[in-house]
Amino acid sequence: MTADQIGIVVLVVLFAAGYGFRRWYKNQARSYKISENLFNGYTLIIYDHNPRADGATLEIKCEAPLHGELEGCDFGIELIKKKRERFKMLFKDYDDMRFVVKIADDKKLAQGLLEKKSLLHVIRNEGLQLNRFRFYVQTKNGSLMKSPEFAFSTRFLIYRPDTGKYN
């Protein structure tokens, strides 16, 4: 083999290895913590699992300071329109929404898993505008925990939009 042929073979092997590594890296499962808020001992944490994949899921996790407080909690989303009008949606009220709630045995931890595609499907079918939104959890004793405001990017990735307030 000549030096030119060896160079071409090395370049092809490097290209194939780079392509294989990129495919492996993109297929790895990823989880991003979007927000973590504390409310009088309660903790509300929101994760986005595999945000660029088709089966992207949102995890809303709520922890209570005492046992048994999260037995009858409700998960929902509050849509905020351009004129700051608010529309609340409980996830359990929609049959099309793929939402699963897991409550720990001591009822101190409630975890809701929501498929992002089903959320967008329900919002489009209801004819609602999706500008900004926030997730919320309401406990049986009336405590309401809300996340910060979020928005979807053009690729349906969740981000925290600019508030426009400085200083």
The pLDDT value given to residue 142? 80
* Tens digit of each residue's pLDDT (9 = 90 or more) over 125-154: 887 777 889 999 988 888 888 999 998 888
The pLDDT value given to residue 47? 93
For residue 59 the two structure tokens come to: 């995890």
Per DSSP, which regions of the chain are E strands?
A: 31-39, 42-49, 57-63, 74-80, 86-90, 99-103, 109-115, 132-138, 144-146, 151-152, 158-159
Class of domain 31-159: mainly beta
- For residue 18, what pLDDT band results from cuts at 50, 70 and 90? very high
